[in-house]
Structure 1
Amino acid sequence: MVSWLLFSDESGHDHQNTPLEVRGGIAIRSNKIWDFVQAYENAENECFGVKLSDYKIEVKGSKLLKHNKFKWANQERVLNENERQNGVKRFLSKKSDTLYRPSRRDFTAYGQASLMMVDRIFDLLDKYEAKIFASCIPRDVKQPKNFQFLDFLRKDHVFLQERFFWFLEAQKEPGLFIMDQTEVNDDKRYIKRLHNYYTKTRNGKKRAKWIVPSPIFVDSALSPCIQAADICLYCINWGFRREEWNFRGNSREDIHNRYAGRCGKIQFSGDMLHEDGPKKGFGIIFVPNPYIASSRER
Structure 2
Amino acid sequence: MSWLLFMDESGHDHRNMPMEVRGGVAIHASRIWDFVRDFHQAELDCFGVRLAEYSKEIKGSKLLDLKRVKWADASATLDANIRHNGVRRFLTKGLQKESPAARDFAAYGQASILMAHAIFDLLHKHNAKIFASLIPCGAKPPKDYQYPHFLRKDHIFLQERFFYFLEMEQQHGLFVMDQTEKANDRRFVRKLQDYYLKTAAGRHRTRWIVPAPLFVDSEMSPGVQAADLCLYCINWGFRLPEWSFTGPQRDDIAIGFAPRCHALQFSGDGYRDGKTFKTYGIFYVPDPYTARDK
Amino acid in structure 1 at the alignment position of 2:28: R
* 1:266-277 paired onto structure 2 within 5 Å: 266-277=264-275
SS in 2 for 1:137: strand
For residue 53 of structure 1, report the CA deviation from its aligned partner: 1.0
What are the Cα deviations for residues 156-198 of structure 1, in whole angstroms up to 9, with x where unaligned? 0000000000000101111001111111011111111011100
Amino acid in structure 1 at the alignment position of 2:9: E
Amino acid in structure 2 at the alignment position of 1:10: E
Query: 5+ unaligned residues in a row in structure 1: which ranges?
Result: none
- Which residue in 2 is equivalent to 1:16? 15
- Which residue in 2 is equivalent to 1:240? 238
- Which residue in 2 is equivalent to 1:173? 171
What is the distance in 1 between the residues matched to 2:292 and 2:60? 33
SS in 2 for 1:187: helix
Verify the 8 A CA contact 2:4 2:26 in the aligned structure 1: yes
- Which residue in 2 is equivalent to 1:219? 217
For residue 278 of structure 1, report the CA deviation from its aligned partner: 1.0
Equivalent residue in structure 2 for 1:195, among 193, 196, 201? 193
For residue 276 of structure 1, report the CA deviation from its aligned partner: 4.0
Equivalent residue in structure 2 for 1:135, among 119, 133, 137? 133
- Which residue in 2 is equivalent to 1:44? 43
- Percent of aligned positions that are identical: 56
Verify the 8 A CA contact 2:153 2:292 in the aligned structure 1: no
Q: What is the RMSD of the two structures over their aligned residues, measured on CA atoms?
A: 1.1
What is the distance in 2 between the residues matched to 1:202 and 1:37? 37
For residue 294 of structure 1, report the CA deviation from its aligned partner: 4.5
Verify the 8 A CA contact 2:5 2:175 in the aligned structure 1: yes
What are the Cα deviations for residues 188-218 of structure 1, in whole angstroms up to 9, with x where unaligned? 1111101110011111111111000111111
1:80 counterpart = 2:56: no
What is the distance in 2 between the residues matched to 1:229 and 1:215? 16
- Which residue in 1 is equivalent to 2:2? 3
Closer/same/farther in 2, CA of residues 226 and 7 from structure 1, 3 Å limit: same
- Which residue in 1 is equivalent to 2:143? 145
Amino acid in structure 1 at the alignment position of 2:2: S
Verify the 8 A CA contact 2:39 2:119 in the aligned structure 1: yes
Equivalent residue in structure 2 for 1:280, among 254, 272, 278? 278
What is the distance in 2 between the residues matched to 1:104 and 1:282? 43
Verify the 8 A CA contact 1:132 1:284 in the aligned structure 2: yes
What is the distance in 1 between the residues matched to 2:249 and 2:146? 33
Verify the 8 A CA contact 1:287 1:295 in the aligned structure 2: no
- Which residue in 1 is equivalent to 2:101? 103
Amino acid in structure 1 at the alignment position of 2:172: P
What is the distance in 1 between the residues matched to 2:262 and 2:292? 26
Query: 5+ unaligned residues in a row in structure 2: which ranges?
Result: none
For residue 284 of structure 1, report the CA deviation from its aligned partner: 0.4
Verify the 8 A CA contact 2:161 2:281 in the aligned structure 1: yes
Amino acid in structure 2 at the alignment position of 1:47: C
Verify the 8 A CA contact 1:289 1:295 in the aligned structure 2: no
- Which residue in 2 is equivalent to 1:186? 184
TM-score, normalised relative to structure 1: 0.96
What is the distance in 2 between the residues matched to 1:122 and 1:246? 27
SS in 1 for 2:9: strand
- Which residue in 2 is equivalent to 1:116? 114
For residue 147 of structure 1, report the CA deviation from its aligned partner: 2.0
SS in 2 for 1:213: strand
- Which residue in 1 is equivalent to 2:229? 231
What is the distance in 2 between the residues matched to 1:122 and 1:32? 15
Amino acid in structure 2 at the alignment position of 1:76: S
For residue 295 of structure 1, report the CA deviation from its aligned partner: 5.5
What is the distance in 1 between the residues matched to 2:73 and 2:219? 29
What is the distance in 2 between the residues matched to 1:95 and 1:184? 31
TM-score, normalised relative to structure 2: 0.98
What is the distance in 2 between the residues matched to 1:121 and 1:157? 26
Which region of structure 1 is more displaced relative to structure 2, 139-148 or 251-260? 139-148
For residue 144 of structure 1, report the CA deviation from its aligned partner: 2.3
Equivalent residue in structure 2 for 1:155, among 153, 161, 171? 153
Amino acid in structure 1 at the alignment position of 2:284: F
SS in 1 for 2:257: helix
For residue 146 of structure 1, report the CA deviation from its aligned partner: 2.8
What is the distance in 2 between the residues matched to 1:112 and 1:238? 20
